Amino acid sequence: MNSKQKRSKTASLVKDFGSQCWWCGCKLSPDKITLDHLKPQSKGGSNSLENLRLACFHCNNSRGNSLYPPQKKR
Ligand SMILES: [Zn+2]
| Residue 71 DSSP class | P
How far, in Å, is the centroid of ligand 1 from the Cα of 22? 7
Q: Give the count of domains, the chain.
A: 1
Q: Is there a domain that residue 46 lies in?
A: yes
Q: Is there a domain that residue 35 lies in?
A: yes
pLDDT category of residue 68 using cuts at 50, 70 and 90: confident
Q: Is the pLDDT of residue 74 over 60?
A: no
How far, in Å, is the centroid of ligand 1 from the Cα of 20? 8
pLDDT category of residue 73 using cuts at 50, 70 and 90: low
How far, in Å, is the centroid of ligand 1 from the Cα of 44? 23
Strands (E), the chain: 34-37, 52-55
Q: Is there a domain that residue 52 lies in?
A: yes
Q: Is there a domain that residue 33 lies in?
A: yes
Q: Is there a domain that residue 70 lies in?
A: no
Full domain range(s) for residue 43: 3-63
41 alpha carbon, distance to own chain's centre = 12
How far, in Å, is the centroid of ligand 1 from the Cα of 1? 22
At 24-67, the pLDDT tens digits run: 999 999 999 999 999 999 999 999 999 999 999 999 999 988 88
Dihedral of the alpha carbons of 3, 9, 11, 12, in degrees to the nearest 10? 170
pTM for this model (two decimals): 0.89
How far, in Å, is the centroid of ligand 1 from the Cα of 2? 23
